[in-house]
Amino acid sequence: MSTETAPIAANFLRTIVEEDLKSGKHQTIVTRFPPEPNGYLHIGHAKSICINFGLARDFGGRCHLRFDDTNPVKEEMEYIESIKESVTWLGFDWGKHLYYASDYFEQLYQWAEFLIQQGKAYVEELTADEIRAHRGTLTEAGRESPWRNRPVEENLELFRRMRAGEFPDGARVLRAKIDMASPNINLRDPVLYRILHAPHPHVGDAWKIYPMYDFAHGQSDAIEGITHSICTLEFEDHKPLYEWFLDNLPVPARPRQYEFARLNLTYTVMSKRKLHELVTSRTVSGWDDPRMPTLMGIRRRGYTPEAVRAFCELIGVGRSDSWIDMSIMEECVRSDLNERAPRAMAVLRPLKVVITNYPEGQVEQFEAANHPQRPEMGSRMVSFSREIYIEEDDFMEEPPKGFFRLAPGVEVRLRYAYIVRCTGVVKDANGNVVEMHCEYDPASRGGSAADGRKIKGTIHWVSTSHCVDTEVRLFDRLFNDPNPDRGGADYRQFLNPRSVEVLPAAKLEASLAGADPESRFQFERQGYFHSDPVDSTPGKPVFNRIVTLKDTWTKK
């Protein structure tokens, strides 16, 4: 469990747990995070992780990590390892409580036979399409299968032959015998087992039949002694089925299901299918693309686990679906990085400046604070020379009113160094400014004018002979519409064509040459940046923009 002490914010789940512990209904709380290992986790899963592990942490209980691995066709060990890594990255620890639904396959099978013996399950020979047609609609009752009233002995024999692998995929299924006229379609004789001749990533080739998720889920909770089975509202209609299994099987415990609203985040999609489409169509570079809402993606972009946990705490836990604006999550990471990220200077779109009255060959060192509000973070030295780079947009030949950066005849302060005045420009054949000439005030070392004149503008810079050439990637939101899924529209039409801009010739101050992979900095006046853990190499980091210094979308 994370050692971080988090404040206990009021919500209906915490109230339920408090009352259950106070009344003596439970002596301790046991929750679980039960992902299906058929894909990578996204930010919506982070909310569930924080709820389940957070409740257990705050109330002195425990939280299990359990893989509900009931479909070997879609599950892979790669997903299992990625999920474990993501939960750990978020700061949570399941300790010795790592489980798999497949660990319970034998017990689940025995319970399936128990239902057959009780006359509450039968082997079905209708095809999947026929079963669907028999199930009815929301307004029409279903029709009973012609195989619904098979003798118990025949059902047992067929089910055992299914387990032995005697039938091909799809030839038969096992169904619960509940109520084909129930207004809840989930209770209209749901499928419990299907035949799948496929190896399982955790148990290998031991099984030829596999339980359905709904059959395995609640019983796995019961086996593990889960007290509070917490899931999203989409499972609310499945709750009667969850309870029917517990009522009709000799389970060792009686968990209770509670539902909360899932996380709906603007400017993104959360559907596994759609995220998979983005990857396979190469719209993004992979599951860890920094524009993706996957935990792998936001981690590679540079989000901190502390910021993600703070976001999940801030949005709270409710029972009504709502949309959370992306700007809230971005503000959480800004707030976190503002406190912890050391500062540095980086010129992303360089324009060369020659300080014509500065001695050729001279180099000076200036001390720069690593964090203006945290002296304990120390300082570093930055080199200054006759030729420097500044940002292209820090100069305008014909500036508008209120432009306090460089222009012909205008003075600015170079951060940590001197005051300079623009004296001229060099242009290429197309009339573009490719070089500026300035003069510096030798008496203004440190940025203060000796005669007390006021300098309105301060800009950042790097020395041309003491900088690091690198690639910087400016990531933005993947979609330019807050709800790309709205109204059944094709979400791909809302892809943001400017969701990434690659700057191959950025210039960084020399101190960043040795930046460790996954280190984070505030590039002064630019935003927060992260050394890419995949593409950075020793001495040549590649930086991803995590987030801008301010919300740039509120004016769009």
Q: What is the pLDDT of residues 82-139, one digit of tens each?
A: 999 999 999 999 999 999 999 999 999 999 999 999 999 999 999 999 999 999 999 9
Check if the beta carbon of residue 345 is closer than 8 Å to that of residue 391: no
Whole-number Å distance between alpha carbons of 251 and 254:
7
Say what the pLDDT of residue 6 is. 43
Catalytic option among 272, 274, 340, 349: 272
Do strands 121-124 and 98-100 pair parallel, antiparallel, or not at all (unpaired)?
A: unpaired
Tell me, yes or no, if 36 is annotated catalytic. Answer: yes
**pLDDT-above-90 percentage for the chain:** 90
Across the range 459-467, mean pLDDT stands at 96
Tell me, yes or no, if 492 is annotated catalytic. Answer: no
- Which domains does the chain show, CATH number per domain? 105-213 (3.90.800.10), 265-342+470-556 (2.40.240.10), 346-460 (2.40.240.10)
Give the pair of three-digit tokens for residue 478: 């993947």
Catalytic option among 84, 208, 262, 340: 262
pLDDT digits (tens, 9 = 90+) for 484-526: 988 778 999 999 999 999 999 999 999 998 888 889 999 999 9
**pLDDT-above-70 percentage for the chain:** 97
Say what the pLDDT of residue 4 is. 44
Residue 206 has pLDDT above 90, yes or no: yes
Confidence of residue 554 (pLDDT cuts 50, 70, 90): low
- Secondary structure element (H or E) that encloses residue 338, with its range: helix 326-340
pLDDT digits (tens, 9 = 90+) for 214-247: 999 999 999 999 999 999 999 999 999 999 999 9
Whole-number Å distance between alpha carbons of 90 and 98:
16
Residue 556 has pLDDT above 60, yes or no: no
Confidence of residue 23 (pLDDT cuts 50, 70, 90): very high
**346: β partners:** 508
Check if the beta carbon of residue 21 is closer than 8 Å to that of residue 29: yes
**Tokens 């990471």, residue?**
333
Do strands 343-344 and 323-324 pair parallel, antiparallel, or not at all (unpaired)?
A: unpaired
Across the range 535-541, mean pLDDT stands at 88
Cα–Cα distances (Å) from 230 to 41, 47, 238, in that order, read 17, 12, 13
Catalytic option among 36, 124, 224, 509: 36
Check if the beta carbon of residue 137 is closer than 8 Å to that of residue 180: no
Residue 352 has pLDDT above 60, yes or no: yes
**Tokens 């570079």, residue?**
285
**424: β partners:** 437
- Secondary structure element (H or E) that encloses residue 413, with its range: strand 411-414
- Secondary structure element (H or E) that encloses residue 387, with its range: strand 387-391
Residue 371 has pLDDT above 90, yes or no: yes
Residue 553 has pLDDT above 80, yes or no: no
Q: What is the number of other CB atoms lying within 10 angstroms of the CB of residue 445? A: 16
Average pLDDT over the chain reads 94
Say what the pLDDT of residue 109 is. 98
Do strands 543-547 and 527-531 pair parallel, antiparallel, or not at all (unpaired)?
A: antiparallel
Across the range 152-169, mean pLDDT stands at 98
Across the range 400-406, mean pLDDT stands at 90
Say what the pLDDT of residue 539 is. 82
Q: What is the pTM of this model?
A: 0.91
DSSP line for 231-279: EEGGGGGGHHHHHHHHHHS--S---EEEEEPPPEETTS---HHHHHHHH
Say what the pLDDT of residue 452 is. 79
Cα–Cα distances (Å) from 379 to 174, 344, 367, 510, 526, in that order, read 69, 10, 7, 14, 20
pLDDT digits (tens, 9 = 90+) for 64-86: 999 999 999 999 999 999 999 99
Whole-number Å distance between alpha carbons of 418 and 436:
16
Q: Could you give the angle at the alpha carbon of 511 between the alpha carbons of 506 and 513, nearest 5°?
A: 60
Confidence of residue 175 (pLDDT cuts 50, 70, 90): very high
Say what the pLDDT of residue 321 is. 82
Whole-number Å distance between alpha carbons of 465 and 212:
65
Give the pair of three-digit tokens for residue 264: 């709906």
Check if the beta carbon of residue 147 is closer than 8 Å to that of residue 186: no
Helix, coil or strand: residue 497:
coil
Say what the pLDDT of residue 322 is. 81
pLDDT digits (tens, 9 = 90+) for 426-442: 999 999 999 999 999 99
Check if the beta carbon of residue 50 is closer than 8 Å to that of residue 90: yes
Long-range contacts of residues 493-498, Cβ cutoff 8 Å, at least 24 apart: 495/283
Tell me, yes or no, if 272 is annotated catalytic. Answer: yes
Say what the pLDDT of residue 324 is. 94
Cα–Cα distances (Å) from 341 to 90, 301, 306, in that order, read 19, 15, 13
Whole-number Å distance between alpha carbons of 252 and 246:
9
